[in-house]
Amino acid sequence: MHLGEIMTADCANGTGMRVSVFVSGCLNHCPGCFQPETWDFHYGREYTAEMEQGILDELAKPYYRGLTLLGGDPMEESNQKELLPLLRRMNALLPARDLWVYTGYIYDRDLVPGGRRYFGDVTEEFLDRTDILVDGPFLQEQKDVTLRFRGSANQRIIDMKATRAAGSVVLDRETADV
């Protein structure tokens, strides 16, 4: 796996102060994507154990609320597999930190059993560790710069803990009115 960028002290990609990791690799290729260079699975630097430790060290600073994964697309098969150890370590070492994940895939179509980006236990565990999932492709015709934490009106901000408990999509209350 490759990373396009690691942003520290980011407040644009989720609530509170965040560490945001832009993974490389995306098969959606949304017209108007703000980072089309991240479609290439080999864009940026190769992900290493040192990078992972650096992300966790930064995230341990007291002013962070959590980690955001975006890209590219964290829900591509190879990205899910490579990111899962980071998520396990984050949950063990920093249980108070939350996780936001941005994906161009639609949760209840693509990330469930039988879906295009469902990879069994890997996807299940990945989603179980996710607090907020921002799903859906960027649609140029629905672009809205006034939206908080998303680029087009079709994208949803899903409370994954509530969704997994309810068995159906539950939108995040904290961001529902924006």
Instruction: Please check the confidence at residue 84 and state whether its pLDDT lies above 60.
Output: yes
Instruction: Please check the confidence at residue 47 and state whether its pLDDT lies above 70.
Output: yes
Instruction: Please check the confidence at residue 178 and state whether its pLDDT lies above 80.
Output: no
- Nearest Cα neighbor of 122 from 89, 87, 81 is 81
Q: Is the dihedral of CA 163, 166, 167, 173 positive or negative?
A: negative
- What number is the average pLDDT over the span 24-28? 95
Q: Which residue has the tokens 């999932």?
A: 133
pLDDT reported for residue 177: 55
| Two tokens, residue 9 | 């002290």
Specify the CATH number of the domain 2-176.
3.20.20.70
- What number is the average pLDDT over the span 134-158? 94
Please state, in angstroms and rounded to a whole number, the distance separating the CA atoms of residues 104 and 107: 9
Question: By percentage, how much of the chain surpasses pLDDT 90?
Answer: 91
Please state, in angstroms and rounded to a whole number, the distance separating the CA atoms of residues 110 and 133: 13
Please say whether the beta carbons of 22 and 70 come within 8 A.
yes
- What number is the average pLDDT over the span 89-114? 97
What predicted TM-score, i.e. pTM, was given to this entire model?
0.95
